[in-house]
Structure 1
Amino acid sequence: MHLTGPAFDSLARGDLAGANATSPVPLTAYLAGPDGRRLWQSRSRQVAADPSSAAWVTGIIWDQQQLLAVGTAGYHGPPDTSGMVEIGYAVDPAHRRRGYARAALESLLARAAREPQVHTVRVTISPDNTASYRLASQYGFVEVGEQWDDEDGLEIIYEISADHL
């Protein structure tokens, strides 16, 4: 589920009621909590600077059967000039190990495969996040390097060509 600038703004402030007033689906305290605030602040600034990026950036993982928001998933932005998109996903700890990350990853990869301007899909994973590594490797992602993120620390960079999706 995609969110709008006003929902990003509310989540960036930790304002769950405000976010729910503009969200297409009911959001949870986990999504408006302090752990996600940095993400929402970044997306709020990004969409304010480029409203068209809202269709690409982080949205909500929505369980259609339970009618429940269980996490976040999306791209870090539209494809860059080389056709690369970076994906990210996070599942509320209360809902992990139920296939939500896999479903989100499959959805993101399917969209990337449909978009002619996408040539490469990237994911960065902390070296100690073996669950995400195992998931990404099942879809053909291969290690291409590493980077230091000032907020997340060391990240291993994995990529797959859109031709292989």
Structure 2
Amino acid sequence: MNNAPFTPRRVRFVELNANALRALADGDLAGGSAEAGIALDEHFVSDRARWIFGYRANQLAEDPSAAAWTTRAAVSEPDGVVVGDAGFHGPPNEMGMIEVGFTVVPGCRRQGYARAMLTALLARAAAEPDVKTVRARIKSDNNASLATIAGFGFTRVGKQGNEHDGLVTVFEIPADAIQAT
């Protein structure tokens, strides 16, 4: 058993522009990495990532202003290792709701990076006057994500289902209830 004290992780986000997202959606890891200006992991061309990045690339083609909100590569500080991707599903809607999403590359899981990503995303949301509510949708069997949001103040508000995600539990937190962690 490792008895070393846990050191909180820090991440910074690197934009994945429409060209990077399109390259990754097409399975072009080298092209996506070149567009992003960082070496991305194979995770970024997995089937899951290719579907999501294709969706986000199309979203940015329709609404370039969404780029400020959507998927970014998460980079560990200070070592510069790409540890996952995170962002919002788009800008706040007309009611001020925004949805978070994050994924940690398999080799970096269970090391605090998801918590660091969520902390940074929530701080960004809380700093934006147009954001009133932050939503997270998580599959009931995704214990890692459920554990990640625990302690942040999210409240379970219901369930939703769709063809791609299946049934998910919906959690929300008012932006003015987000506290720095």
TM-score clears 0.5: yes
In structure 2, the residue matched to 1:70 is: 83
Q: Provide the rounded CA distance (Å) in 2 between the counterparts of 1:70 and 1:137.
A: 21
Instruction: Give 5+ residue unaligned stretches, structure 2.
Output: 1-13
Question: What CA distance in whole angstroms lies between the structure 2 residues aligned with 1:53 and 1:111?
Answer: 15
Cα distance in 1, alignment partners of residues 158 and 47 from structure 2: 30
Q: CA offsets, 1:69-105, max 9 Å, x none? A: 1111000000000000000001011110111000000
1:3/1:24 contact within 8 Å kept:
no
Instruction: Give runs of aligned pairs for residues 1-150 of structure 1, distance below 5 A.
Output: 1-150=14-163
Structure 1 residue 134, shift from structure 2 partner: 2.2
CA deviation map 1:87-134 (0-9, x unaligned): 000101111011100000000000001000000000000001122112
CA RMSD between the two structures: 1.0
Following the alignment from structure 2 to structure 1, what is the Cα–Cα distance between the partners of residues 158 and 71?
Answer: 24
Q: List per-residue Cα deviations over 1:54-74 (Å, max 9, x = no partner).
A: 110011111133322111100
SS at match of 1:138: coil
Amino acid at match of 1:39: I
Q: Which moved more, 1:56-65 or 1:79-88?
A: 56-65
Aligned residues: 165
Secondary structure (helix, strand or coil) at the match of 1:121 reads strand
Identity %: 44
Q: SS where residue 110 of structure 1 aligns?
A: helix
Kindly state the Cα deviation for residue 21 of structure 1 after the two structures are TM-superposed.
1.7
SS state of the match for residue 36, structure 1? Answer: helix
3-state secondary structure, aligned to 1:133: helix
CA distance in 2, matches of 1:34, 1:83: 31
| Alpha-carbon displacement from aligned partner over 1:119-158 (angstroms, at most 9, x marks no partner) | 0000000001122112212100010010012112110000
What SS does structure 1 have at the residue aligned with 2:78? coil
Q: TM-score, normalised by structure 1?
A: 0.96
Q: Deviations over 1:38-58 (max 9, x none)?
A: 100100000111111111001
In 2, are the aligned partners of 1:30 and 1:92 still within 8 Å (CA)? Answer: yes
Moved over 6 A (4+): none
If you compute each CA radius of gyration, which structure gives the higher value, 1 or 2?
2
Scaled by the length of structure 2, the TM-score of the pair is 0.88
